[in-house]
Amino acid sequence: MKSPFSSSRSNAAHRFSRRAALASLATLPLAGCIGSSRSFNAHAGTAAIEKEPVLHVITTRRLAAGGAKSPFLDTSRAPQPLYARAMLYPPDRSMLGQISSVVTSDFGVRVLEPQPGLASSGFAEALRGRDTLLFVHGYNQTFEAASRDAAQLSHGIGFRGNAALFSWPSRGGLLDYGYDRESALLARDPLADVLAATLQDEFGARLHIVAHSMGTLVTLEALRLYRERHGDKGADRLGALVFAAPDIDLDVFRAGIGRLGQWKERLTVITATNDRALDISRRLAGGNRVGALSRDMLADTGVRVLDATDFTSGLIRHDAFVANADVRAAIRRTIEQA
């Protein structure tokens, strides 16, 4: 029986070529504003969130029990967005923590501190002085799961600025696709308001956005609304746009990016043809999901595509953006070059 650790020279060459292709795509020049503020340097040291485990949260969820304890925010829709600071438990770096890594290796929410005042302006003011990485989560996500992904992404790419999360009221259930989609559409205006406050803040730095799954629909719609209302105002403050495993119908995607103007050049899409979560979405919603298509099928859109099919793992294969080191490295380079 052949050893599971052995491989042929051709297989090794194939794996190397896939890694090289993914890495080289991420090093292509991206559109951006030359000379704008850039506090992010992935190679300069420890991620900011490890030194200061704080997550800036803007949310359209309702507070649960006043936000005093888990689950902090529930699955229902709030009438107005809220800005809060989530104080996190950082991963345990001790020997015991490493041995018990199944329990202690992830960031977790320790306490949620709702902030008074208008959510969008309070959020923008809190981010001043450093670049920000804003994560927009997808379908079937609780607030705490989304917070963990946002923190792990910021930490995993060595981001030196603010870590932030836009959390919309997903029910966190596999069979609640319809509710989640409606919640996502309701969240597009609040996110557009957040973008306006952040990108037009005269004291603000740059904003990079990584959206996942159905969160890419929220983000695409918010960007479209922003440009309809404000044009290219604040465009120099928008850095990289990364859509990971987009749960968007292909025709809706084409129509949406057609209205992004110059921002379309900043968009990178991460796909995987073996994404099982998007296969379920296709069956529930109908229509091809962008995140499950090959690079060739998206060639006519004119956006940059990273095919992560060979880098997915697990049963669902939907979270390579945070789970796989090669994909995280590609995201890091995309942000560095924005």
Residue type for position 1: M
Nearest CA to 120 out of 80, 163, 172, 76 is that of 80
Nearest CA to 159 out of 58, 38, 20, 32 is that of 38
- Give pLDDT tens digits for 173-230: 888 999 999 999 999 999 999 999 999 999 999 999 999 999 999 999 999 999 999 9
User: Which residues, at least 6 apart from 98, have a Cβ–Cβ distance to it below 8 Å?
Assistant: 92
Residue 1 belongs to a domain: no
Chain length of the chain: 338
pLDDT at 202: 94
**Residue 274 half-sphere exposure, CB side, CA atoms within 13 Å?**
11
Residue 39 belongs to a domain: yes
- Give pLDDT tens digits for 281-307: 898 888 899 999 999 999 999 999 999
Record the tokens describing residue 73, joined without a space. Answer: 């925010």
pTM to 2 decimals?
0.84
| Total number of domains constituting the chain | 1
Residue 29 belongs to a domain: yes
Residue 47 belongs to a domain: yes
Question: How far is it, in rounded angstroms, from Cα 133 to Cα 56?
Answer: 10
Residue 3 belongs to a domain: no
Question: How far is it, in rounded angstroms, from Cα 277 to Cα 319?
Answer: 10
Q: Which residues of the chain have pLDDT under 70?
A: 1-45, 92-105
Contact 145, 220 (CB under 8 A): no
Residue 4 belongs to a domain: no
For residue 67, the domain's CATH number is 3.40.50.1820
Residue 2 belongs to a domain: no
Residue 130 belongs to a domain: yes
Rg of the Cα atoms in the chain? 19
Do the bridges between strand 108-114 and strand 238-244 make them parallel or antiparallel, or are there none, so unpaired? unpaired
Record the tokens describing residue 254, joined without a space. Answer: 């084409």
Range of the domain at 50: 9-336
Question: How far is it, in rounded angstroms, from Cα 149 to Cα 234?
Answer: 27
